[in-house]
Amino acid sequence: MEGITFHRLGQSFEESGGGGPATVLLSKQGNLEIMSHKIGSEFVVWLMPASDPAAMEFFFVYEGGVELALDDGVVALGPGESFTVSGLAREIPVKMLGDTRILYVTNCPAFESVAQFEESLLALLVRINEKDHYTYKHSGSVLKYALCLYDAMESKMETVSRNDMAVAALFHDVGKCFIPVEILQKPEALEPAETRYILRHPLDSGRMLRAEFGEAVAETAMNHHERLDGSGYPRGLTSEDIGLPARIIAVADAFDAMTTFRGYNRVKTFEEAAEELCGLEEIFDGAVAETLRQLVNNGTIKKEEKEETEPDEQTR
């Protein structure tokens, strides 16, 4: 009958909707949208504070499970459980426990942007993870540190929005998908021909992000291995040509490399790594490194409790 849609037992929500591969719009009326999200195992999505104070989001887990890392501990939800988000003060990571399906209801129209964004980003992330699991984990950590630094230094940010910063940080190493896996994970020193692959990954990251996210994001990702004294790559830029967002990612990137076991290195504590970066003013931005040290000292940036310690592949 017109005016009513049923979702019968055994029939997936997706069969009655239409849209991208991961997100399906089931119903829409005015500002109200009801979607179904299908999200892969171990994938982390972020709940973001909404700019509209009247915004409300409702999440109902109907397959798999989710784990929310809140300030006062981790909350896990399974099939049949749900949560509502409204007036969130800061972003919260939500990890999928197995392949997960979520019914998502919001009064802030989001489907168009979510579906488009997801399709391209998911494809990129899947490519990174298949190739090099270290880079996948590293990308999430760099995102976390870069956003903490961004928030602390927001008054100095001119051209790059928080969203742009997040995209550039998460995908700064996406160009590594063109590096053969044997080179990416080779423990010994690389041959010159192999090094050339490494040296071009920031250019590839920039190229891959430019069309979808614009020049500011591309430039930020492309310059994450540039150093203030000109000793970096791929272009050997010097301080005046390296923007603050790229300097932030450079510090976040180095900090994660220093504090993560990569098969051969001595893992530094967060305090040691931040201290060391503060002493490298010729190559890393002093104000960014100092902000990182403060964020470590005041506990804003701290080691995850369940940090994995088994050897990882090498990263460059």
In the bound state with Fe ion, the residue whose beta carbon lies nearer, of 77 and 169, is 169
- Nearer to Fe ion among residue 19 and residue 234 (C-beta): 234
Encode the chain in three state secondary structure: CCCCCCCCCCCCHHHHCEECCCEEEEEEECCEEEEEEEECCCCEEEECCCCCCCCCEEEEEEECCEEEEECCEEEEECCCCEEEECCCCCCEEEEECCCEEEEEEECCCCHHHHHHHHHHHHHHHHHHHHHCHHHHHHHHHHHHHHHHHHHHCHHHCCCCCHHHHHHHHHCCCHHHHHCCHHHHCCCCCCCHHHHHHHHHHHHHHHHHHHHHHCHHHHHHHHCCCCCCCCCCCCCCCCHHHCCHHHHHHHHHHHHHHHHCCCCCCCCCCHHHHHHHHHCCCCCCCHHHHHHHHHHHHCCCCCCCCCCCCCCCCCCC
Sign of CA dihedral 42, 44, 45, 47: positive
Least distance from C-beta 296 to Fe ion, angstroms?
19
Told to judge if 176 belongs to the known catalytic residues of this protein, a careful annotator would answer: yes
Q: Which is nearer to Fe ion, 35 or 143 (CB)?
A: 143
Q: How far apart are CA 23 and CA 55, in angstroms?
A: 20
Per CB under 5 A, which region of 5-13, 35-43, 167-175, 304-312 contacts Fe ion? 167-175
Selecting among 131, 156, 176, 303, the annotated active-site residue is: 176
As measured in angstroms, the least distance from the Cβ of 224 to Fe ion is: 6
Residue 226 binds Fe ion, judged by CB under 5 A: no
Q: Which of the stretches 100-108, 166-174, 185-193, 235-243 binds Fe ion when contact is defined by CB under 5 A?
A: 166-174
Contacts (CB under 5 A) with Fe ion, residues 234-273: 253
Query: Quick one: 25 or 168, whose CB is closer to Fe ion?
Result: 168
Integer-rounded Cα Rg, in Å, for the chain is 21
Nearer Cβ to Fe ion (219/253): 253
Shortest distance, CB of residue 259 to Fe ion, whole angstroms?
Answer: 13
Interaction between residue 219 and Fe ion (CB under 5 A): no
Nearest to 83 by CA among 105, 101, 107: 105
Q: How far is the CB of 205 from Fe ion (least distance, A)?
A: 8
173 binds Fe ion (CB under 5 A): yes
Per CB under 5 A, the segment of 57-65, 104-112, 170-178, 192-200 that binds Fe ion is: 170-178
Nearest approach, Cβ of 299 to Fe ion (angstroms)?
Answer: 24
**How many chain residues are in contact with Fe ion, going by CB under 5 A?**
2
Q: Write the interaction track for Fe ion spanning residues 80-119; mark x where CB under 5 A is met and - where it is not.
A: ----------------------------------------
Minimum Å gap between C-beta 30 and Fe ion is: 43
Query: Taking CB under 5 A as the rule, which mask of x and - marks residues 137-156 in contact with Fe ion?
Result: --------------------
> For residues 111 and 255, which CB has a smaller minimum distance to Fe ion in the complex?
255
Residue among 141, 131, 103, 66 at smallest CA distance from 301: 141
Residues that bind Fe ion (CB under 5 A): 173, 253
- Residues catalogued as catalytic: 176
